[in-house]
Amino acid sequence: MSAPVAVLAVIDREIERAGGDSYSDGRDLIEVRAAVAGLITASRDAAAVLQSKAGPLEQETPRRLYAALARVGGAQ
């Protein structure tokens, strides 16, 4: 199991323990899981850009990275 999959599995277990979307703690964890999944996807996209060496990173930075960071408060 890859590290990103393991992280999401831990969050999934915590969501289940918190009662899923029936309770506020579960709903909060569902939002956290969505943000983490977005960051994982964005980091994979950024890695693919770097590996392809298609152009300067400044031109190829995935918009999803900024969107995911904004959702977790990491971007202004």
Residue-wise pLDDT tens digits, 26-65: 999 999 999 999 999 988 888 777 666 655 555 556 666 6
pLDDT digits (tens, 9 = 90+) for 2-17: 888 899 999 999 999 9
Phi first, then psi: give them for residue 55, nearest 5 degrees.
170, 180
- Asked whether residue 76 is domain-assigned, the answer is no
User: pLDDT at position 76, please?
Assistant: 43
- Asked whether residue 59 is domain-assigned, the answer is yes
Tally of domains within the chain: 1
User: pLDDT at position 63, please?
Assistant: 67
- Asked whether residue 30 is domain-assigned, the answer is yes
pLDDT digits (tens, 9 = 90+) for 67-76: 666 777 654 4
- Asked whether residue 22 is domain-assigned, the answer is yes
- Asked whether residue 32 is domain-assigned, the answer is yes
Q: Can you read off the two tokens belonging to residue 8?
A: 């999401």
Q: Range of 26's domain?
A: 3-71
- Asked whether residue 7 is domain-assigned, the answer is yes
- Asked whether residue 67 is domain-assigned, the answer is yes
Q: Is the dihedral of CA 50, 52, 53, 56 positive or negative?
A: negative
